[in-house]
Amino acid sequence: MEENEDKVRVVARIAWPIDPGPVSFANNVVAQSDDGGATLYLTFFQTNPPILVGDRESIEEHAENVHIVDAHPIARIALPKSIVPKLISLLNRNTPGEPINESDNS
């Protein structure tokens, strides 16, 4: 018996929602890899800086007292290292401006 003989293949259409409802957007990301470097972990966070209103003096006073902005996790994705070059290529094709480098640390 061959290895593939006991596998079942299911083909199903994905029904993408027209209105996905409330969505949290991430505006920060942290990239990490496991010890062997075989897996890249991308963790996406949402940070909301404080709203500073009032006259210049009160805004500056409030801003001086802001020391931490909480980061709330939105999603974490684990990618095999082999996919990373394909992901970079996909991002470069769909992102205007300077191309992304695999060695970019920004």
Per-residue pLDDT of 77-95, as tens digits, reads: 999 999 989 988 888 888 8
3-state secondary structure of 30: strand
Q: Specify whether the CB–CB gap between 92 and 62 falls below 8 A.
A: no
Per-residue pLDDT of 23-81, as tens digits, reads: 889 999 999 998 888 999 999 999 998 899 999 999 999 999 999 999 999 999 999 99
- Strands of 71-80's sheet, edge to edge? 28-33, 39-47, 71-80
Please classify residue 100 by burial: count the beta carbons closer than 10 Å to its beta carbon, then call 0-12 exposed, 13-18 middle and 19+ buried.
middle
- Evaluate if pTM is beyond 0.75: no
Q: How many CA atoms lie within 13 A of 6 on its CB side?
A: 3
Is the confidence at residue 5, as pLDDT, over 80?
no
φ, ψ of residue 4 in degrees (nearest 5) = -80, -10
- Residue 63's pLDDT is 92
Instruction: State mean pLDDT over 96-101.
Output: 73
